Structure 1
Amino acid sequence: MDDPLAWLAETARDRRAAGLRRVLSPRDVVEPLVDLASNDYLGLARDPRVVEGAVAAARTWGAGSTGSRLVTGSTRLHAELEADLADFVGAPDALVFSSGYTANLGAVTALSGRGAVVVSDVAAHASLVDAARLSRARVVVGRCAVPSEVDAVLADAPETRRLVVTDGVDSVDGGLAPLVELHAVCRARGALLLVDDAHGLGVRGPAGAGLVAEAGLAAEPDVVTTATLSKSLGSQGGVVLGSDAVIAHLVDAARAFIFDTGLAPTSVGAALAALGVLRAEPDRVTALHHAAATVAASARSAAPTLGVAEPTAAMVPVVLGEPDLAVAARDACADAGLRAGCFRPPSVPEGTSRLRLTARADLSADDLALVDRVLHEVLGPIVGGSPARSARPGMASWTEQY
C-alpha cells in the first residue's frame, strides 16, 4: 500500500527549495538580541505590574478557567475586563474570547451565514479569511481600501444580510483602512462593518483606544470591532466589541465562543493590569510612534532604493523581494544583535518577502542606535542597487473566492 504521508516529504522539499520552510526557534529567558520582531508594542509583556496581575489572578482563580464561558469559564474577572475594554474603546459592550483568532471566527460566522454576503478585503488577516470560508455565506474578495469598489459590490448584491470585513491597521505593512468612508458606504447599503483592530488597539486613537475610536465609530450600532489582547496589552486572548444586541447574539450563536474553553484567569488578570498601565501612561503610545519613525529613518538611510515609507503604526516593512533574500537579511541581523521579523508567502504576496520591523515603546536610545548600525551593515550589501518595491502591490479586481 502507498504511504499516506509520502506527500509530506515532497511538500517539505518544495517548500525548502522555494525558501518557505519554517522552523521553531525557542527564545531564552534572557534575550541577547534587540527585539524588533514581537508584537509587544507597548513593552508591557514583562512589565512587573502586568506580571503581578497574572500572578494575582492565578492565586485567586486558579491556573485555568475550568470550562467554556457558558458553563464555568466565566469569572467576575472576565466580566470586569469586558466592561473595562468597552469603556476604554468607547463601545457599548464587549465579549472576551480565548484568542484574537477565535474572536474573528466567532464574530464573522455568527454575523453572516447562509443567505448572507461577506465582502472581505484582499489583504485581510488569515483569521478573517478562515472565518469567511467557514461562514457558508457568499464571499466577495477585493479592495476595501477603495470604498467606491465596496459600494459597487454591495449595490449588486442580492443578499439582505451583508457584512464587510477588513483590518483596521494592516498587519504587514501598517496601512490604515479608510474607516469613515467605508462606514458611510456600509450604512448607505445596509451592511454591517466589522473591523479587526488588533494592530490599532494601543497604537492608534485617543490614548491608544484604537483606529475605530480614532474614526469616531466605536459606539455606532452597525460597527463591530475585534481585537487581540496579545499585542499592545502584552497578554493573551481576544475581544469583540459592539452593541448590546451584537454581543448577546454572539453569546447565543458564536461557535468559537460557545464550544471553546474560556480564557485563562492569568491572561485576564494580565490584560486588566496592562489596560490600567495604558490608561495611566498614555505617553507610551507617543513613545511607540517615535521609535517607529526612528527605525524607519534608519532603514531608509541604510537602503534608499527600497522606498521605506513613514510608518503609521508600529510596523516598518522593508520589502526585499524573494524569500531567500529576506531570510538572509533576517539571519544577518540576528548575527549582528537584532531580531527582525521575516515575512514570506503566504503571509505576503509573491515577490514581496520582507523584513517586518516592529517598534516598541520601551526601546532605549542605545537600542535604536544598535538598530541603525545593524540595518546599515545588513541592508546595504544585500540590497545594492535594487529598485524600490511596493509593500502592497496592485491587487486584482473583485472576485468570489475562499
Structure 2
Amino acid sequence: MTTMTEMENIQKGFQERMDEKELLNCMRCGFCLPSCPTYIVSGYKESQSPRGRIALMKAVYDGLIEPDDEFERSLNLCLGCRACEPVCPAGVNYGFLLEEARDIINQNKKRSLSSQLVHQAVFKHLFPNQNNIENITSLIGFYQRSGLQKAVRKIGFLHLFPNHLREMERVLPEVPKKTNMTKRITRVKPDSIKKATVAFFTGCLMDTVFRETNDATIKLLQKAGCEVVIPQTQVCCGALHGHSGEKELAKKMAKQNIEAFEKEHVDYIVTNAGGCGAFLSDYDHLLKDEPGWEGRVKEVAKKIKDISSVLYEVSFHKENRLVLDEQIITFQDSCHLRNVMHVNEAPRKLLKSIKGAKFCEMENADSCCGSAGIYNIVEPESSMNILNQKMTVIKETNATTIVTANPGCLLQMKLGIERENLRGVRAVHIVDLLQEALM
C-alpha cells in the first residue's frame, strides 16, 4: 500500500519530470479507444484507456488526485502496445508518458522485501549480463533434456504453480546447450555480390533461448547479399527496464550499445525482434537529457531496421525461390514493430511471395496478443482475456501457420495454440519460416 509520504514524493516527481505540454496534447477525442485492448477487455472502463490514463496522470500532476494504489494499478494494466499512437490526431507520445510515470512511481515507492529481491535479480543481475542469461538458459536446457521435465510433469509438481505458468512451461522452445551459445565471430561475408553492410543486434533472449532464429537471421542476410558485422560488446537493449520503471539501467545499457555500434561503418543495424527494434529506435528520447549523447544516439537510431524491411528492400523474395508445402499462413503483428517502427507491409509481402502457401489476413492483426514483455506473467487474467480474443479471429482464418516477428508474440501464440488445443497448427518466427522456404 502506498504511504502518504510516498504519494507526496510521487506527486512531486510528476510535477518535476512529466511533460505537461505532452499531457495537454491529448484532446480527449476518443480516437484511441477502439485501438486499446485493455479498454475493450475491461468492459470499456475509461481508466483503462489511453485517454483515461493521461487524464489521471494530468490530475496527479495538478494535485487533483493522489497517486494511490488504484492509480498505479491503472498504469500497470496498460500493455504499453502503443496502438493508440498511430491513430492519435494530435500525435501524443503516450508511450513516453507511460514510461516516465512508471519510473517516477518505481523510484519513490518502497517494495516488499520479496519484490525487491526479484526485481534486483531480474533487472540488475540477469538481463544486463549475457553470461547470466546463458547460464539460466543452459539450466532450462538441462531440465528439458535430462528427463527432469518428464518426471516433474508425471508426478504433478507443476500443479503447485498457477495455471498460466503451467501452460507456459509446456510451450517453452527447446533451448540450445551451453556449448552452442559461444561467442559469435565478428564478421561474416555475403554469399553473393555485396549489396549492403549491416550490423546485427543479437539481443539477449534471442541469442540464447531463440539462438536458432538468430542463426537463421544471419544466413538470410548473407543470402540476401549482406556483409554482417556482429559487435561483441553489445548488450540487452534495455526495453524491459525502460517499460518497468528502471530507466537509469536502461540508459546504461543504451550507452553501451551505442558505443558498440557507432564504431561500425554500416548501412543498417538489423534486429529480428520488434520490441528490441522499437526501443533501440527510441534511444534518442531515452537519452535526450544526457549531455554529449544527442548526436551520437541519432546516428545510431536512424540506422535501426527490422530484418523484414532489409530483406524486402534488397529484393530477397524476388531473387530467391521460396517454396513450402501447401498451408494457410496468417501474420500477427508485433505491436512495437508496427506502431513504433511502422513496419507492416514488408513482412506480409515476403510471406505472400512464398509458393505453395496461401496468405490469409486475420481480423485486427494489428491488435496486441497480450504478451507485452512479461505482462502475461504479471497480469495473467488480462493477458489471457486478450489472447482469447486473438485466438478467436485466428481460428476464423483456418491458418495452419501463425507467423510472428517478436519472441514474446511467438510464445504467446504457442500458448494460444496450446490452450485451444489446435492440432496441426504451429507458430513460427518469420525468419525461421523464410529459412524453411528457401530452396
Q: TM-score, normalised by structure 2?
A: 0.26
The structure carrying a bigger helix percent of its residues is 2
The structure carrying a bigger strand percent of its residues is 1
